[in-house]
Amino acid sequence: MTGISVVVAEDGVLLRAGLVGLLERFGFEVRAAVDDADALRAAVASHDPDLVITDIRMPPTHTDEGLRAAVELRGAYPGLAVVVLSQYVQHSYAADLFGTGEGRGVGYLLKDRVVDVEEFVDSLRRVCAGGTAVDPQVVGQLVRRQDDPLSALSARERDVLGLVAEGHSNGSIARRLFVTEATVGKHVGNIFVKLRLPQTDDTNRRVLAVLAHLAGQGG
């Protein structure tokens, strides 16, 4: 898992340095670390990285420069994995981003997640492998505000649903909950039946189906 080339865009000097240190520590090859969206576009054009990690909120307007750049880059470079970091949960952000490239190779994480170093790197690798990473807090808020359809789920099934939505595979979920993969499979099956979602073994499709379901209920 070494040799993944990365371009980092983050306007906070300290966090940018921290991110670079973290990435290099785990064998990522950091090709450029920039501090605004224009520099990000330029860096991607000249360095052709595998992965882009960008802050959503950057100069000059401090609103969603990073996200717009990310969506653009996803259009311009098919196969480019992108992880956006946000200061807070924002649904429209997530929706915009997951609408690109069928939601493959996309991550939406809260900035605070960076400090859980191994999990953060794990999410990055999942995204680079074409997977999806959704911040647990985003999922948590989505799961929390649905009550009617989700009230049919047991507490354990809700936990599993959360992890599914974050982009974990059955194996990964089993390790986290300290249960067998078969048990997870059973829970997932139950969840999909209860929520009337189409069954699929593809982790990625599964995430999107669950997210779409949750988001759809919210609107």
Partner 1 sequence: MRENGPLTALEAVTWPRLLVSRWPWRSLVYLVSTLPLGLVAAALTLVPVVVLVTRWDAGTLEVSTALVLVVLELLLVVGLGPWFAPALARSERRRLRWVDGRPVPERPRPVDDVSATTDPMPSRYADPATWREVAWLLVLATAAPAAAVAALTFGLLVGLYAVSPLVLLAQRPGDQPVALGFWSVSTVAETVPFAIAGIVLLPVVGYVWTLVAGGAAEAARRLLVGAESEIRAELVEVSRSRARLADAFDAERRRIERDLHDGAQQRLVSLTLQLGLARLDVPPDSRAGQSLATAHDQAKELMTELRELIHGIQPQVLTDLGLPAALAELADRSPVPVEVDAELDSRPEPRVEYTVYFVVSEALANVAKHVGAAGTVRVTVRRASRAGTVTVEVSDDGPGGADPARGSGLAGLADRVAVMGGTMFLSSPPGGPTTLRAELPCGPEGAL
Which residues form the interface with partner 1 (CB under 8 A)? 12, 14-15, 17-19, 21-22, 25, 57, 62-64, 87-92, 111-112, 114-118, 141, 144-145, 147
Closer Cβ to partner 1, 85 or 188, answer by number? 85
Residue with tokens 């982009």: 167
Identity of the residue, 15 or 179, whose beta carbon is nearer to partner 1 in the bound complex: 15
Whole-number minimum distance, CB 183 to partner 1, in Å?
Answer: 27
Q: How far is it between the farthest Cα atoms of the chain?
A: 51
Q: Which helix (H) or strand (E) holds 16?
A: helix 13-25
Chain-centroid distance of CA 86 in Å reads 11
Which CB atom, from 68 or from 144, has the smaller least distance to partner 1? 144
> Please, what is the minimum distance in Å from the beta carbon of residue 46 to partner 1?
27
Answer for the pair 19, 114: CB distance below 8 angstroms, yes or no: yes
In the bound state with partner 1, the residue whose beta carbon lies nearer, of 22 and 134, is 22
Tell me whether residue 75 or residue 218 sits nearer to partner 1 (CB atom).
Answer: 218
Q: Which token pair is 125?
A: 């690798």
Smallest distance from partner 1 to CB 105, Å: 24
**Closest separation in Å from C-beta 16 to partner 1:** 9
CA dist., res. 7 & res. 22, Å (int): 13
What whole-number distance in Å separates Cα of residue 146 and Cα of residue 85?
A: 25
Give the DSSP per-residue string, 25-77: HTT-EEEEEESSHHHHHHHHHHH--SEEEEESS-TTTSSSHHHHHHHHHHHHS
Output the smallest distance, CB 131 to partner 1, in A: 22
**C-beta of 59: minimal distance to partner 1 in Å?**
12
Tell me 120's DSSP state: H
Nearer to partner 1, 25 or 175 (CB): 25
Quick check: 203 and 168 in contact, CB under 8 A?
yes
